[in-house]
Chains A and B, each alone.
Chain A
C-alpha cells in the first residue's frame, strides 16, 4: 500500500509536466509521427545461501518488468517528444516493486542549440567498472548493485554545439532519492535503509534546485569532458534512525569538478575519470583509470575478445555517517568480454574487483543473446570471495546470486 502511494507520488509531477509539454508540442506541430515500442520481461533470481540478516526473506525472487517507449518527431525533425514509463513488480521485496518515468521530455533542436525539458537520462564518463563522474541521474540501486540502472531526472538542459566542443547547462529541480532494498530484500546491510525518512542538509530538501555544466570535445584520438555540479549528492551518507532499527539516508549539498578522458589508439582504449568533491567531510579526490585492449577476429566468423583493467582510488572520509560509503577506495578491476559479432548479438562478460588492501573480491559473469527478432535472454551471476570483515562487501557476502531474465521486445 505504502509503496503504491509512493509510486503514484513519484510519477505525479513528471506526468503533469509531460502532459503540458505533449499538449503544447503536438498542438503546435501536429505533423509528425509516433513510434511506439516497449518490452515485457520476467526475471528469476536465486541465491546460493540463506540470508545473513534478520528480516530478509529466504528463497528465490521473481519479477515482472514492463517498459513503454513512445517517441514522437515532427516532420522537420526539430521537435521531439520521448516517453519511457517503466515498472517492476517483485515477489520478495516491496521496495523493489516500483515504477518510474525513466524518460519523459520535450526536445527542441534549434540552429546550434538544443533544449530539453522534462525527465531526462544522461550519462557522463568513459570507464566500465565504476561510473565515477556520472552524476545527473540518481541510481536505482534496488534494480542492480552495479549502479547502471538510473531513475529519470527532472531537468532543463540547454546544449550548444560549437567548433571547439559541446557546452551543456543543466537546471535540475526535484531531487530523486536513491532506492534501496527493503527489510525483506537481499543485497543489503544488517540494518535496512529507511527511505521514508531521508534527511537533507539543505532546508529545501528534495526541492533544492541543483545545477550542472559540462564541456566535451573530441580532437583526433582524444575524447575529453569537463564538468561541474553543485547540489544534492546522489549518494547519501548513513546515520542510524533514533530507534536504532534502520539507517537514515543523509543527503549533503556538494560541489564537484570532474574530468573524463579517453585516448583511442588502434585496438587500445586508455580511459581516465577523476573528480574533486567538497561537502562530505574533508574535500577529497577520486580517480578511476585503466585500459582496454581488444583482440579482433579471433574466430573465423569474426568474434572479438577484449581485456579490461581499471584501477580505482577514492580519498573520501571512511566514516559512512559523513561521506557515502564506497567499495572503490583502492581496488583493481580485471575483466574480459567475448563478443560473437553474430546477428543474435551473443556475448559473454566476466570480471572481478579486488580490494588491494584486504583482498576481498566481488565478481560477475554475464551472458546474453537474442532469440528470433524479439526475445532477449540474459544470465547474470554475482559472487563474492575472500571477503574481509572490514570490507563493505561483508554485508552481502551471503548474497551470491544467479539471475535469469527473459525479455520480449515490441
Chain B
C-alpha cells in the first residue's frame, strides 16, 4: 500500500503533465470553456474548480473503511461503520462508480448501495437488501434526501463532478479548518443537475494543493443550510489527496455528522465488472 508521504517527484511530474496537456490536441476540448461561462469571474471560478478536479485524475480505484458519527441537537450520538469502493470514471463526461457497504447497525449489515454517477442525467443506483437477498434498482431522484439518516444528502456523495455545476469566483480569503490556517479561493457553484436540494454552494479551495476544504450549502430558499469541513488531508502517491475527517453541520436543525475515513487503499485492481448489480450480494 502507498503511504502518505510527500513525493519529491510530484512537482516535476505535474509540470510534464502540463506540457503534455498543451501538446495533446485530444485534450483541447477539456481546455475549452463551457457555454455558461459569460465573464471573467465565471471563467476564473471554472478554472479553479477544474484544477482541483483534475488533481484527482489517475487514482484508478480505491477502497476505504469509514465511521459515520451522527449527532442530534441534544448531543446524543450513534455511529455507523461503512466501507467504500470507488472506480474512477473513464473520462469527465461520466462520473465515478462506487459501492457503499453498511457493516453496522447489525440489522442492516451487508446492505450495499451501487451508484453509477452521471453528469447531468440522474445517476443509476441499486440497493441490495440481505434479508431478502434482493437487489432493487432505486430512483436517484431523491438527491436531497438524507443518506442513512445523516446530515449528508445523497448528492453530497454523488455530485462531486466538475461539470455538475456552474462556477463563479468570489474572493480569496484565509480560513481555518481542522486547526490549519489556509489561503483559499472562494468559488460559488450552482447545480446544473435536476432535483438538487440546493440553490447554490460556496466552496473554499486551497491555493497550495487545490483541495476543497469547506463547502457551504444554501437551501432552495437561499438560506444557509449546512457547512461541510474537510480536514486531515493526506497525500497518496502523486498528488492524490484525501480528507480523512469530514464534518457536516446542519445550521437549521443543530444536528451534525462526522465521517472519518481510515487509510485509503489505491490501485486494488477493481474493474467495471466489480461495479455491476450482481456483485452486491457478496460485499460482506
* B90 CB-CB contact with A under 8 Å: no
B18 on interface, CB distance cutoff 8 Å: no
Pairwise interchain contact B106-A304, C-beta atoms closer than 8 A: no
Binds A, one of B7-15, B44-52, B144-152, B157-165: B144-152
Question: Given A80-B282, A112-B273, are A345 and B108 neighbors across the interface (CB < 8 Å)?
Answer: yes
Q: Tell whether A34 is near chain B: CB-to-CB under 8 Å.
A: no
Asked if B142 contacts A342 (CB within 8 A), the reply is no
Is residue B104 contacting chain A, with contact meaning CB distance below 8 A? Answer: yes
Complex contact B141–A370 (CB within 8 A): no
* CB-defined contacts of B277 to chain A, threshold 8 Å: 166, 216, 218, 223
Asked whether B105 is an interface residue with its Cβ less than 8 Å from the other chain, the reply is: yes
A interface, size bucket: 35 or more
Contacts of A121 in B (CB 8 A): 133
Does B138 make an interface contact (CB < 8 A)?
A: yes
CB-based contact B139/A268 at 8 Å: yes
Interchain CB contact under 8 A, B284 and A35: yes
Instruction: Please name all residues of chain A whose beta carbon is closer than 8 Å to the beta carbon of B191 when the two chains form the complex.
Output: none
- Decide: B139 and A294 in contact? CB cutoff 8 A: yes
Chain A residues, CB < 8 A from B53: none
| Contact between chains at A297 and B106 (CB < 8 Å) | no
Chain A: CB-nearest residue to B132: A123
A152 to B141, CA, bound (A): 35
Confirm or deny: A269 has a beta carbon within 8 angstroms of a beta carbon on chain B: yes
Q: A residues within 8 A CB of B106?
A: 37, 39, 373-374, 409-410
Q: Would you list which residues of chain A between 285 and 314 have a CB under 8 Å from chain B?
A: 294, 296-297, 301-302, 304
Within 8 A of B (CB), among A2-39: 35, 37, 39
Cβ of B278: which chain A residues have Cβ within 8 Å of it? 159, 161, 166, 216
A50 at the interface (CB under 8 A from B): no
| Cross-interface CB contact of A37 among B80, B109, B124, B149, cutoff 8 Å | B109
Quick check: is A266 within 8 A (CB to CB) of the other chain?
A: yes
Closest to A293 in B: B139
Q: Is the CB of B132 within 8 A of A304?
A: no
A359-391 near B? 1/0 per residue, CB < 8 Å: 000000000001011101000000000000000
**What B residues does A410 contact at CB under 8 A?**
106
> Do A342 and B197 touch (CB < 8 A)?
no
User: In whole angstroms, what is the CA distance A304 to B135 when docked?
Assistant: 20
Could you give, for residues 151-163 of chain A, a 1 whenever the CB lies within 8 Å of some chain B CB and a 0 otherwise?
A: 0000000010100
B237 at interface, CB cutoff 8 A: no
- A71 interfacial contact with B, CB 8 Å: yes
CB distance from B74 to the nearest CB of A (A): 14
Would B284 and A71 count as touching, CB distance under 8 A?
A: yes
| B192 interface hit (Cβ, 8 Å) | no
Contacting pair A301 B107 (CB below 8 A): no
Question: What are 13 A-B contacts defined by CB distance under 8 Å?
Answer: A37-B106, A109-B282, A216-B277, A218-B124, A264-B137, A294-B141, A296-B142, A302-B145, A302-B153, A342-B146, A343-B148, A376-B107, A409-B105
A residues with a Cβ closer than 8 A to B are 35, 37, 39, 69, 71, 80, 107, 109, 112, 114, 121-123, 126, 148, 159, 161, 166, 216, 218, 223, 262, 264, 266-269, 294, 296-297, 301-302, 304, 341-345, 370, 372-374, 376, 407, 409-410
